[in-house]
Structure 1
């Protein structure tokens, strides 16, 4: 039988990476557990370190992490250089400007208001190779719609190419961000007046840019291709819809170096998150992280602190690459109400 902590851990990770429907689970009360999300890179801007406590699972809310506030957070390298992080939102800690250096080793320290001290195991920032190009191919697959009818769903399967250095073990992670232009019809907006839609034109905005895919990742090691090229590593499956392919789609892919322990963490985590939904899927398992309580190493801490070198590439998928007509997107509202949208045109557009 799975230990309740394993299920709790699994549900917390799902809460951080996706939306889930409540399920009936009987879990015994357990102490809240610290969740750490942190990655430093050799980029000019460092991502925030996010800290939270797991909360009891409920049918109504699922798993809602509670931010860890007012902590002291800093990163040190092997030469004892210290880089402090400051809380700019509950549980969200940002650094002063610093750039990670390939070859350096970094350690995270977290000190709570209650004086608990958590540390990460040292993480060395390894080099990574340049991205050698991106590609996209149309895929068609059958799907059952909401009426129970079988339809054909069309997607772009995207890929990345890179070269793998010989005579050394290499571990990779890829993350992607997609951006697309969307047009809506705020002039056709209506409001309900006693059950009757009445014209209520909005002054803004008809053109927006939407981003998606920030948390989607894929990982790979070089066990089968050491010293050769990695060709057509799958990155994302992007559905072809009226809202995202009426113009063009911009895909940016970042390639990260990983240590072996970081690779094992992300490999197990992605298999657990993507493998949900079938009785034949692997059961949720404890994902070994690298954070520990300095005074109680038996305390389970969720998450991972990593250090990665990054290379990146980007390209556009044009509407003309879709070999069929795409219906006009109809949405009679301000386009800024769409999730992750902005009326400010991106610099790369």
Structure 2
């Protein structure tokens, strides 16, 4: 590859150095340096050997025109190569460009010329200097604050520095999404088997919104998704997550009852005759804490019954689940076979109507 080159041997115990820089020698693997005696051995400088260290089995000698391994007992020939590595422009391989994270510390990793110093820059300011290992790998941990950061690197030698590496932009987002649950309201009662959960969400790097694990549709800062409900207490859990990994979770409970109340033991069970001033008792059993009313449906042939047909009269819960009320016949009321209908409503919007089997004969002889 180069040579032979003449050099003057030192005899003072120091290394004899031969500068080959002007030879522009480039290698990418193993190579050998050869010491050639130009005179017989008694007239040439001696070549020192290392007899104390482990034998590397990389020392050879040329005798009678052929190379052969030197005897192990002679040790390792003391020939060393001082190598300068070519200063290549580094490459940052981690983090990747465009990464969005919420971490306040990053590990910058990359590749550069083996054994050379690498300067790491953050937004054009040098923040660290690290030496690449023998494989060319380098890494360094750096602290970061919220916002955009551009990282570059350059190989640095005593002769100067290479160009900067390709910039890597990283976004640090440590702010969780702003989130509301607008529909339904906390503690709301409903008789629906499904409903649409709606609300608002705001984040610069929003990734998704889930409601009870179901991905919501997001449009213009609003999210919505339809979910199924179970009878009883239902917890609605909304989670907004951004690309950096920040999360906001909100929860509300609603009460669901989509089974309408049942009415039992409705009276009167038999027909009742009423004269003016006489009353009939109306009663039944159902769930407790219901809104209960009744209506008297007069026969269609009775024109004077219009008011009663459209008016609901209250029933009172006299004990748990037992409702009672009274209706008194007036002198102007007259009907044969008037029907009593009770109506119950719960807080969930369920309505049950039932007619008594006993009818009313009012002021009929």
- Calculate the TM-score normalised by the size of structure 1: 0.20
The structure richer in helix per residue is 1
Normalising by structure 2, report the TM-score: 0.20
Higher radius of gyration, 1 or 2:
2
